[in-house]
């Protein structure tokens, strides 16, 4: 018997790449605009502010081997270093480079005249040796005479140089009162060869006068640098500022006395709304009214209440509680200013916490609350053992938000105290930036507020996480 072989059939294997899960790029594309916005309008300004607080663009002055900006470096000296002036030299610069600066300058004139021997001489002479007698249509000097040298022993001749530099070659000499034709003028900046101490080492080299403060012919100090360096000087200056401790103390005090009251009131207001009473919608509208008012408007309103001719004095006088108007917003009544700020902030910002708490209450299942009520739990027991534990995420968000906003209290303080009697960190930041024009110190204050906000937020998050882990 013959057996016939049956051919085997195999199915084609699926490509390996077909089994791979495709990456869904849609979520990344959706958050890309937000990331770009945060990078441009948050991250970059924050980095810039931090840099201003810890970086000094003019901390060091680079000295040169020669009196020229492009020459080799001879070392560096810190800003403020006391220096000795060893030599001086002028170099030609463009007039616009010296506009508005403090540089010491020299003006040199290119002249043509006959020397005592009748030979024609052409070259450069300092304008201190030439008395200008005439100018052209553009106002440039065109003719003059050589100034006579004073003193019986003075050299009667004035040297003429190949370049506007006393170190260049001498091309001839001119006699006193010689008539010269002025062909050109050049502006020179004075460079000094200086010497100073940097960390116990003596450093010497050339530096432009625009970077120096010259005391006399032999001494001076470095007034500006050209190289940046990390520094803690601005932070130290902030810490030693006479307004820093009062501003920090007042800011922390306001946080302590404002936030707890706001949370208690916000929870009560949220429970009233959540109870769905007959006029719950009206209550919500009334409670939310402060959200429509700006910080400055609230400050002005409460200022009108507490001024000597304000509503508070009028009411107390009408009730016969006081005989004459009392001053509340003065330097002698600082505690009343604190109370006014406290009342204004509580009235203004409690609604923010209330809205967050109301949102959290709406997320709690009514079945849980009804079950607690069925088992005989009182209102206080339901609030303590059911509502507040389930509100922890919302309260955490509200706490972080209110703490950050409390650190930023500014307009209310300005409206009620002018920022002088009572000051806060935000007010000092503004004062340093706007009034004193000290951007570096203002950045130090702003960075300090940022650090406190971040540390507080981390502490809050850590506390909540620890409590949750302990409950598991």
The pLDDT tens digits of the residues spanning 108-117 come to: 999 999 999 9
Span 317-342, average pLDDT? 87
Lowest-confidence pick of 40-44, 89-93, 291-295, 468-472 = 468-472
Say if residue 414 is in the same domain as residue 287. Answer: yes
CA–CA dist 125, 222 (Å, integer) = 30
Give domain status of residue 90, yes or no: yes
pLDDT higher than threshold 80 for residue 276 = no
76 pLDDT tier (thresholds 50, 70, 90): very high
Span 201-218, average pLDDT? 93
CA distances for 420 relative to 247, 296, 329, 405, angstroms: 10, 16, 11, 21
CA–CA dist 369, 382 (Å, integer) = 7
Q: Which of 349, 341, 359 is nearest to 302 (CA)?
A: 341
Span 139-157, average pLDDT? 89
Say if residue 144 is in the same domain as residue 275. Answer: no
Give domain status of residue 372, yes or no: yes
Question: Can you give the residue range of the structural domain that contains 444?
Answer: 238-471
Residue 163 Rama label (left phi>0; alpha psi -120 to 50; beta): beta
Res 1: pLDDT: 47
Map tokens 């403020």 to a residue. Answer: 80
**434 burial type by CB count under 10 A (0-12 exposed, 13-18 middle, 19+ buried):** exposed
Look at the pTM and tell me if it is higher than 0.75: no
181 or 6: whose pLDDT is higher?
181
Say if residue 244 is in the same domain as residue 392. Answer: yes
Res 19: pLDDT: 54
Give domain status of residue 27, yes or no: no
- 204, 227, 250 - which closes a domain: 227
- Write phi, then psi, for 279 (nearest 5 degrees): -115, 35
Query: What does the mean pLDDT of the chain come to?
Result: 86
Say if residue 133 is in the same domain as residue 205. Answer: yes
2 or 195: whose pLDDT is higher?
195
Say if residue 168 is in the same domain as residue 245. Answer: no
| Token pair for 215 | 């005391």
Cβ neighbours around 161 below 10 Å, total: 19
Res 472: pLDDT: 56
Say if residue 160 is in the same domain as residue 117. Answer: yes
Q: How many domains does the chain have?
A: 2
pLDDT higher than threshold 50 for residue 470 = yes
Say if residue 194 is in the same domain as residue 251. Answer: no
Res 99: pLDDT: 64
């Amino acid at each position: 018997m013959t057996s016939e072989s049956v051919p085997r059939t195999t199915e084609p294997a699926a490509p390996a790449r077909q089994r791979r899960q495709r990456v869904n790029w849609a979520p990344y594309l959706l958050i890309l605009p937000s990331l770009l916005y945060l990078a441009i309008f948050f991250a970059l300004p924050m980095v810039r502010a931090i840099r201003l607080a810890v970086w000094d663009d003019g901390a060091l002055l680079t000295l040169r081997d020669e009196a020229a900006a492009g020459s080799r470096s001879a070392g560096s000296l810190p800003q403020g270093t006391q220096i000795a002036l060893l030599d001086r030299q002028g170099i030609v610069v463009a007039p616009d480079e010296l506009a508005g600066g403090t540089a010491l300058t020299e003006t040199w004139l290119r002249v043509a005249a006959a020397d005592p021997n009748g030979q024609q001489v052409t070259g450069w002479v300092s304008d201190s040796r030439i008395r200008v007698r005439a100018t052209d249509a553009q106002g440039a000097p065109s003719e003059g005479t050589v100034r006579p040298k004073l003193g019986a022993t003075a050299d009667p001749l004035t040297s003429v140089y190949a370049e506007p530099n006393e170190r260049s070659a001498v091309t001839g000499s001119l006699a006193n009162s010689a008539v010269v034709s002025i062909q050109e003028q050049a502006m020179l900046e004075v460079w000094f060869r200086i010497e100073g101490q940097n960390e116990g080492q003596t450093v010497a080299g050339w530096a432009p006068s625009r970077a120096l403060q010259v005391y006399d012919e032999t001494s001076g100090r470095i007034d500006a640098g050209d190289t940046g360096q990390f520094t803690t000087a601005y932070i130290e200056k902030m810490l030693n500022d006479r307004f820093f401790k009062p501003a920090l103390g007042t800011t922390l005090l306001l946080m302590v006395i404002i936030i707890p009251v706001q949370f208690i009131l916000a929870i009560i207001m949220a429970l009233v709304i959540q109870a769905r009473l007959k006029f719950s919608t009206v209550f919500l509208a009334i409670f939310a009214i402060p959200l429509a008012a700006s910080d400055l408007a609230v400050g002005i309103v409460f200022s009108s209440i507490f001024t000597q001719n304000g509503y508070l004095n009028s009411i107390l006088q009408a009730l016969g509680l006081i005989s004459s108007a009392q001053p509340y917003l003065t330097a002698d009544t600082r505690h009343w200013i604190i109370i006014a700020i406290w009342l204004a902030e509580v009235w203004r910002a409690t609604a923010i916490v209330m809205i967050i708490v109301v949102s959290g209450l709406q997320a709690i299942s009514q079945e849980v609350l009804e079950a607690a009520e069925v088992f005989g739990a009182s209102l206080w027991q339901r609030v303590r053992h059911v509502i507040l534990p389930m509100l922890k995420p919302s309260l955490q968000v509200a706490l972080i938000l209110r703490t950050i906003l409390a650190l930023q209290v500014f307009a209310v303080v300005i409206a009620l105290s002018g920022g002088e009697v009572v000051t806060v960190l935000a007010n000092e930041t503004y004062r340093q930036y706007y009034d004193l024009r000290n951007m570096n110190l203002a950045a130090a204050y702003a960075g300090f507020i940022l650090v406190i906000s971040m540390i507080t937020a981390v502490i809050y998050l850590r506390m909540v996480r620890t409590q949750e882990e302990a409950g598991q």
